[in-house]
Amino acid sequence: MARLQLSGIKKSFGPAKVLHGIDLEIGDGEFTVFVGPSGCGKSTLLRLICGLDEIDEGTLAIDGEIVNDVPPAKRGIAMVFQSYALYPHMSVAQNMGYALRLADTPRAEIDKRVAAAAEILRLTPLLDRKPRQLSGGQRQRVAIGRAIVREPRIFLFDEPLSNLDASLRVDMRAEIAALKQRLGTTMIYVTHDQTEAMTLADKIVVMNAGRLEQVGRPLDLYRKPANRFVARFIGSPRMNLLQGGLLGDRAAEVGLRPEDLKLVDTRDAKLSGDVRLVEHLGSDLFAHVAVEGASETVIVRLDGRRDVSVGARVGLTIDANDIHRFTADGLRVAA
């Protein structure tokens, strides 16, 4: 395991500034997820940690040792990419042990490590197969196994599930969560999917336009987003944002989580409007309500057994303790 410290990290590609001074600490054995929209710099930051790109300014330290000029192979890091990048002519066992073979590791040691990784990832019956004989999820497990056999101090994952269909993503998410528990190794995971971030992370790093918006535990970010961007990015469906005046609130803007809103008679409502869209998702129902004075529809999360019709006039209310308040600049108003 290993501890990372990033201080003042900056990176540009030509005139384009990608990272604007990143300060971040990642603890020993911690599972940290970098999350943010496309182009926010999260994959670039991962490549700098791995050593695939050079840092322009700032320092990167692993266990207190500055490694800016240390080549990737010497950093004790293994990376799992979005693409499986398996050799089609090699078996699963050969793919997993290839990096060790290049490093002149004794054959007995290679076999031992491959067998151990295969056992962890439930790949033992597949060791003699070629990649074309595997499913997408199995190929991704092989790619992860290839990293495990190197016994790195740090694992890096760059959107490893984005090539999988929805059901396989759920399965592989569970696989990676279980892997975290078994190995206890420091892991950094990049994704644009905030559901992956919430379910996997010990700590989430929310990035936007090359800067850190907020760093913290998943539920802390969900319950106390530092600003408007984090409030909207973390949570599905996303937080509703309204002018404070619509609720008689002094804050410039108020945030309402869909699950905190309740349908009531319009006479008892703080807000009222017409239902424009109803999404039935089985256990949940999402009602999109056009609230008077609001610039966008308000999403309400309800029990899937509720009967709500498009066109219905409804009232909405929310407990004052569940309201998130923001300044005109988009910063959270302290409670």
| Domain total of the chain | 2
Which domain, by its residues, includes 246? Answer: 242-326
Assess whether 108 and 156 both reside in one domain.
Answer: yes
In 3D space, the residue among 240, 243, 197, 244 whose CA is nearest the CA of residue 221 turns out to be 197
Residue 236, in any domain of the structure? no
Strand bridging mode 253-256 / 262-264: unpaired
Residue 331, in any domain of the structure? no
Assess whether 194 and 65 both reside in one domain.
Answer: yes
Q: What is the mean pLDDT of each run of 10 residues along the chain (335 residues)?
A: 93 95 96 94 95 96 95 90 86 94 92 92 93 89 90 90 79 85 91 89 96 97 96 94 93 96 90 95 95 93 93 94 96 88
Assess whether 252 and 317 both reside in one domain.
Answer: yes
Residue 318, in any domain of the structure? yes
Model pTM score: 0.89
Predicted confidence at residue 207, as pLDDT, reads 96
Sheet with 186-191, strands from edge to edge, namely 77-80, 154-158, 186-191, 31-35, 203-208, 211-216
Last residue of a domain, one of 196, 231, 266: 231
Assess whether 227 and 275 both reside in one domain.
Answer: no
Alpha-carbon span 6 to 76, nearest angstrom: 17
Alpha-carbon span 290 to 273, nearest angstrom: 5
Structural tokens at position 221: 């970010």
| DSSP code per residue over 164-200 | S-HHHHHHHHHHHHHHHHHH--EEEEEES-HHHHHHH
Backbone angles phi, psi at 282, to 5 degrees: 85, -95
Backbone angles phi, psi at 154, to 5 degrees: -140, 135
CATH number of 154's domain: 3.40.50.300
Angle between helices 136-148 and 166-183 (to 10 degrees): 20
Residue 310, in any domain of the structure? yes
Tens digits of residue pLDDT in 187-221: 999 998 888 899 999 999 999 999 999 999 999 99
Q: Are 228 and 196 in contact (CB under 8 A)?
A: no
DSSP summary character for residue 123: -
In 3D space, the residue among 245, 244, 247, 301 whose CA is nearest the CA of residue 278 turns out to be 301
Predicted confidence at residue 182, as pLDDT, reads 85
Assess whether 189 and 304 both reside in one domain.
Answer: no
Last residue of a domain, one of 205, 231, 257: 231
Assess whether 223 and 247 both reside in one domain.
Answer: no
CATH number of 249's domain: 2.40.50.140
Residue 333, in any domain of the structure? no
Predicted confidence at residue 161, as pLDDT, reads 82
Residue 335, in any domain of the structure? no
